[in-house]
Structure 1
Amino acid sequence: MPAPEDVLMLARYNAWQNREMKAVLEALPTAVPHKPCGLHFGTILATVNHLLWADRIWMSRLADWPRPEGGIASSVDLTPTLSVWAPERFRADARLIVWAEGLRAASLHGDLRWYSAVTGREQVKPVAQCVLHLFTHQAHHRGQIHAAITAQGAQGWTSDLVFTPDGGP
């Protein structure tokens, strides 16, 4: 089970990675994030939208954030452009860090219950597993975006956890 300080480290890493990714995405030609590039959600913009939506849905379960509208299918349309996405993403990252700073070991014990539209039934999973899923889901899709960017000949960003600045490992 992760300790609260592990969750805080992951929240800080997540925010750093999103800042790094944003910088790379903003340096690309404007059309690139909207262009189909073989990602599971089709485009880079759709994928970053899905990640923001997924963070919000998980945090609605873990910390009573407002539940985002729609489901996975509509998650890709959360924002129309990177310039609209960016401030929403960074507000969510800041809230994740504040949440992680307030975690106590007892917060990571027990089970989380929710109805999953994906499975069509109630789910019951350990809270700690759900918290770790939140961050591994981010890393998974950011890795896809990194690969899509480098496949187009652009320079990616450093994604190693050990290089997280300010409060990393």
Structure 2
Amino acid sequence: MVDPAFVLTMARYNAWQNENLMAAAAGLTDEARRLDRGAFFKSIHGTFNHILWADEVWLSRLLGTEKPTVGGRGSAAYIEGWDPFCARRRQRDRAILDWAQGVQPDWLRGTLIWYSGAAGREMGRPRAFVIAHLFNHQTHHRGQIHAMLTAAGAKPDDTDLFLVDEAR
């Protein structure tokens, strides 16, 4: 069940795993991070960018923050440089953590209405469902990054959710 404790745990997990994978990726060359490895968003860098882009889209819908100026098709090239990407990722993780600390049960029971560029229409879903999607989307694509990093010879740390409290 999606409740405030779940939201906070997943926000903490998100930040922890982004740091984990960025640290592993930092040991690669820029060329290795950008190499087309056959993933949906092609490269490690492209997949990292897509996750950040999607997080910013959802934050704009949930919090009214500025949404990305590029669409989903451009998400893999969202932030060009590695250092600017890492700085922006950390900022967004902090924003997600700050937001998660204030989520209330009544808010989660409400409905979010938004225009979906992917579906080409207005959508509405329970906020709890949207939050589950936000964190599931991150985890799905981080799994792809983990596989690409491992194939590239990098060694990310553990990713198990039950370890999040011990790592933070």
Partner of 1:116: 116
Partner of 1:74: 74
Partner of 2:129: 129
Partner of 1:16: 16
2:161 corresponds to 1:161 = yes
Partners of 1:87 and 1:35 in 2: CA distance: 22
In percent, how many aligned pairs have the same letter? 39
Residue 66 to residue 166, structure 1, CA distance change in 2 (3 Å): farther
Partner of 1:92: 92
2:116 corresponds to 1:152 = no
What are the Cα deviations for residues 14-57 of structure 1, in whole angstroms up to 9, with x where unaligned?
00000111100001123111110011011111111111110010
How big is the shift at 1:130? 0.4
The answer to whether the 8 Å contact 1:9/1:167 transfers is no
The AA in structure 1 aligned to 2:162 is V
What are the Cα deviations for residues 120-155 of structure 1, in whole angstroms up to 9, with x where unaligned?
111111110101111110000000010111123332
Partner of 1:42: 42
Partners of 2:166 and 2:85 in 1: CA distance: 24
The unaligned stretches of length 5 or more in structure 2 are none
How big is the shift at 1:167? 8.7
More helix as a share of residues:
2
Partners of 1:152 and 1:48 in 2: CA distance: 15
Residue 156 to residue 108, structure 1, CA distance change in 2 (3 Å): same
Partners of 1:59 and 1:86 in 2: CA distance: 18
The AA in structure 1 aligned to 2:37 is C
The secondary structure found in structure 1 opposite 2:124 is strand
Equivalent pairs, count: 168
Partner of 2:30: 30
Partners of 1:123 and 1:116 in 2: CA distance: 6
The answer to whether the 8 Å contact 1:45/1:81 transfers is no
In the superposition, the TM-score normalised over structure 2's length comes to 0.95
Higher mean alpha-carbon deviation, 157-166 vs 120-129, is at 157-166
The secondary structure found in structure 1 opposite 2:21 is helix
The answer to whether the 8 Å contact 1:12/1:167 transfers is no
Partners of 1:165 and 1:30 in 2: CA distance: 31
